[in-house]
Amino acid sequence: MSTAHVPAARTAGAPQAPAPELPPDRAVLPAVIGTAVQRVDAVEKVTGRAAYAADVRLPRMLHGAVVRSPHAHARIVSVDTSLAERLPGVHAVVTGADTARIKWGAFRPDLYPLALEKVRYVGDEIAAVAAVDVETARRAAELVRVEYEVLPAVLSLDEALAEGAPLVHDDAAGNLAHEFSFDRGGADAWFDRSDVIVEGVWQSTRQWHSSIETIGCTAEWSQDRVTLWVNTQTPFLARQRYATALGMPLRAVRVVQTEVGGGFGGKSGDDNTSVICAILARKAGRPVQLVNTREEEFLASRPRIPMRYHVRLGFTSDGLVTAKDIDMIADNGAYTGKAQAVLGAATVRHDALFNYRAVRARSRLVYTNLVPTGAFRGFGNPSADWAVGQAWDLAATRLGIEPPDLFLLNAVEAGSVSPHNHRIGSCELKQCIRRAAKAIGWYEKRAAPTPNRGLAMGVSVHVSGRRSFGDYDGSSAMVRLAEDGRAVVIVGEGEIGTGARTTLAQIAAAELGLPVADITVTRPDTDLTTHALGALASRVTYVAGNAVKRAAEHACEQLLAAAARQLDRPASELWVEDGVVHAPPAAGDDTPVQVPVGVVVRAELYRPDGQPIVGMGAFDNPSEFPDQSRFGNESGAYNFVAEAAEVEVDPATGAVTVLELAAAVDCGTVLNPPLAQGQVEGAIAQGLGMAITERFAWADGAPTRPSFTDYKLPTAGVMPKLHVEFADSYEPTGPYGAKGVGEIALDPVPSIVASAVADAVGVRVHELPITAEKIYWGIHDPDGRAREEGESR
């Protein structure tokens, strides 16, 4: 593969003249951009050599196990660890007394590392054991005797909000963890002027990330400092919170990212596993590894937040949207984590899709005695898009306008500004709507309907990074050119499976003129790499991609300057291609000059006052830190999707089969097609799980069997025929025109499945998941148990 690097300003003999109307680097996209470059980690992964959290092996390492509450709400009367301590092979038992007694949390500190006085959900951590092997640690954990005084619990949103309900936290009156509201544009006046108003209540449900690798950590102390090898998506943000939880200065905690076996928001450092691991290792005086069992992952990770929306939408008779009003309550569970931020995204983000004249919202985050919830791919938008998308689908029916046409009538475009000041840059939403309709064969299928089959469309908008952890959503990188001719990209963002290290390597390769095989992208280590917010909010390609691009440019400038000195030629005559610095033949010579990059780098070092070649680059998302009411342009680039689905319902059983699903995605330039397709395909699968297959039976505040035997992930067999397309799009602020793509394709899936079921058999489900049972009762007992809310007025 050619990796020609042709810096237009510096290069003689560069062949191309950019078309003037295009952004400068769009006309000259390097060959390595937009091609199916092989993943840099592929061989490690297919051979089983990639080392995940549970693959870390340290000398004298012990294994941990956690004692968890069997009660949803209880006072801890006493904890007796003496039996556990006496079990042979046990090296340490810790309780809340061994902690700094500090509450921690990303936004609202309310979680102790190990419970003090009270437990607040089934799974709450009380004590932990370190022993020579996992089995001994678990046996010892069972020997820890905890005496409880069981307290009344609130096990649903309604129970938590009821008058006089027991409080989950004494300092949260009415069990409210967070709330905010706004009225932008005067909603009432616009509803008064509306010809058609639709309304309804829609509720989403808990969904677990279900990464096949569970959360895990290995901790080792050296004097007063602990190193944590963690499968975290966000090593630097996690480090800050872990230091707080341990009551230690930031400098005393080092976090190193292991291979991460799936993240999806669930490994972003809001749970106690790593903190407990560190406390165990300190007391044991030996390294300790603590890895969640699958049961623990279901009981005590941070699943998707169930949200109940009351939605009202107003339209003119010709289909122009006027106003939107939502009243939303969200189930925080027992502790807060990132749910507070998710609440914001789930309230405002979707207003960047359509040209609303007025939007009003009231959103409340409610404590319950259930498993704490948090960030999950989509960050609240799948719940918002499900509820608001259902209202839009009802409106299309009421207005007698086909959904794609209704969306086209109201969709935002480049240059639009949402009521919350989301400033839309590149935007191919309308192109996406047209392409998804075409790919599914919308109008052909409408012309020749098949009984019990239904068709639906949904749209969504997502960010490319989001300013939410303080007034910074940037990234920085260093590119060190090595004397062996390779480049090491030092960046703290990491890899959770999306292919980030591969796309960052492509960007560096393109800028440097090196083959991708000569690029190494580091893993995050809070001691060694640049500071990074990590893999969240679909930000790495956009934010870190820009930082890496600038660092590589900087390194390349130094390389060419060094080569210019060494060759005694002006730098403007030099270029780098396939790892070789090229110059045209010198005067009076006809041999072109070619010097390998490594030779130039070595010669720059091995001389008096020799210098390394290290480029540095930084980029901050050109966005605004939203205020308390979530007003502010949260991202510098927005990505869009339109998805259409065809389903078939068996009226005898209510079983729904998704036959076909078409997704057209605007993520700007596609840097690596198979990787981008993989993000879309995988997101759709998770959306189908949320829509149809993933649920538990519950009793006493916990799933009755927290296991994959009950909680069904989509398998290959349930996947529909997929059509994945990318819009012709270019984001001027993105690296080579790229935007984020990691989350967006999940967002519309529950809504389009529900709308397609309604289209097929006239049954509209109001609470996820969309089960055969709900559809069956909707068909066979439409006025009874399956239908709940008034849908329209």
Q: How far is the CB of 51 from other proteins (least distance, A)?
A: 7
Q: How far is the CB of 428 from other proteins (least distance, A)?
A: 23
Residue 49 binds to other proteins (criterion: CB under 8 A):
yes
Mask 683-702, x = binds other proteins (CB under 8 A)? Answer: xxxx----------------
- Footprint of other proteins on 129-168 (CB under 8 A): 133, 135
Q: Are strands 656-666 and 638-649 parallel, antiparallel or unpaired?
A: antiparallel
Report d(CA 691, CA 711) in Å as an integer: 13
Residue 589 vs residues 194, 537, 584, 593: alpha-carbon distances, Å: 79, 55, 9, 10
Mask 209-228, x = binds other proteins (CB under 8 A)? Answer: xxxxxx--------------
Report d(CA 723, CA 725) in Å as an integer: 7
Q: Judged by CB, which is closer to other proteins: 155, or 217?
A: 217
Q: How far is the CB of 267 from other proteins (least distance, A)?
A: 10
**Helices assigned H by DSSP within 441-544:** 442-447, 500-512
> Could you say which of 378, 682, 748, 750 contacts other proteins (CB under 8 A)?
682
> Could you say which of 23, 41, 100, 566 contacts other proteins (CB under 8 A)?
41
Instruction: Using DSSP, state whether 608 is helix, strand or coil.
Output: coil
Q: What is the DSSP letter of 632?
A: S
**Helices assigned H by DSSP within 272-323:** 273-284, 294-300
Q: How far is the CB of 621 from other proteins (least distance, A)?
A: 25
Report d(CA 326, CA 308) in Å as an integer: 10
Q: Which of 429, 290, 302 is nearest to 355 (CA)?
A: 429
Contacts with other proteins: how many residues (CB under 8 A)?
58
How many other CB atoms are found less than 10 A from the CB of residue 294? 16
Instruction: Using DSSP, state whether 273 is helix, strand or coil.
Output: helix
Residue 653 binds to other proteins (criterion: CB under 8 A):
no
Q: How far is the CB of 328 from other proteins (least distance, A)?
A: 28
Q: Judged by CB, which is closer to other proteins: 306, or 497?
A: 497
Query: What sign does the CA torsion over 625, 631, 637, 642 have?
Result: positive
Mask 224-263, x = binds other proteins (CB under 8 A)? Answer: -----------------------------------xxxxx
Residue 389 binds to other proteins (criterion: CB under 8 A):
no
> Could you say which of 16, 17, 21, 47 contacts other proteins (CB under 8 A)?
47
Residue 470 vs residues 20, 163, 243, 405, 692: alpha-carbon distances, Å: 39, 36, 18, 40, 37
- Footprint of other proteins on 737-776 (CB under 8 A): none
Mask 472-511, x = binds other proteins (CB under 8 A)? Answer: ------------------------xxxx------------
Torsion of CA 685, 691, 693, 699, to 10 degrees: 140
CB 791 within 8 A of CB 394: yes
Q: Tell me which stretch binds other proteins (CB under 8 A): 545-553, 578-586, 647-655, 672-680.
A: 672-680
Q: Which two tokens stand for residue 426?
A: 């590149």
Residue 43 binds to other proteins (criterion: CB under 8 A):
yes
- Footprint of other proteins on 269-298 (CB under 8 A): 293-294
Instruction: List Cβ neighbours of 142 (8 Å cut-off, separation of 6 or more).
Output: none
> Could you say which of 681, 693, 696, 777 contacts other proteins (CB under 8 A)?
681
Residue 1 binds to other proteins (criterion: CB under 8 A):
no
Q: How far is the CB of 512 from other proteins (least distance, A)?
A: 24
Which residue matches tokens 């309804």? Answer: 200
Identify the burial level of 55 via C-beta atoms within 10 angstroms of its C-beta, where 0-12 means exposed, 13-18 middle and 19 or more buried: middle
Instruction: Using DSSP, state whether 240 is helix, strand or coil.
Output: helix
Binding site for other proteins (CB under 8 A): 36, 38-39, 41-52, 54-55, 57, 133, 135, 209-214, 259-264, 293-294, 496-499, 674-675, 677-678, 681-686, 707-709, 713-717, 719, 722
